[in-house]
Amino acid sequence: MSTKMAPPSPVGDTKARSLEETPTWAVAVVCFCIIVASILIEHAIHMLGKWLKKKYKPALYEALEKVKTELMLMEFKSFLLVITEFCPGIISCFKKKN
C-alpha cells in the first residue's frame, strides 16, 4: 500500500523566489502594469491642468504645476538611489581580479 504525500503548502513556504527564478511573463506583466498606471496618472494630471485653465483657476493650476515638479524631482531622486545601490556591484564586475 503506497501513501502519497500532499505537496507542501505555499502559505507555509518562507523561502522567497528570486528574480532569476521568476517567469519572464510574470515580470513583464508587473512592468506593464506599472507603466500603464504611470501613463494613466500622468494623463489624469494633464487633464486636470487643462480643466483648471479652462475654469480660470490660476492658483490651483500653479499648485498643480508645483506638485508635478515635486513628483519629477522625487522620481529623479529615487532613480539616483537605485543607480547608486547597484553601482558597487557593477563596478566590481570590471575590476581586475588578482
Give the angle 95-88-86 at the CA atoms, nearest 5°.
130
CA distances from 8 to 13, 16, 17, 91, 96 (A): 8, 14, 15, 41, 45
Amino acid at 76: F
Domain count of the fold of the chain? 1
Q: Please indicate, yes or no, if residue 24 is contained in any of the structural domains.
A: no
pLDDT per residue as tens digits for the range 19-45? 778 888 888 898 899 899 989 988 999
Report pTM: 0.58
Q: Please indicate, yes or no, if residue 59 is contained in any of the structural domains.
A: yes
Q: Please indicate, yes or no, if residue 72 is contained in any of the structural domains.
A: yes
Res 43: pLDDT: 93
All cell numbers assigned to 49: 491642468
Which range marks the domain in which residue 63 is found? 46-92
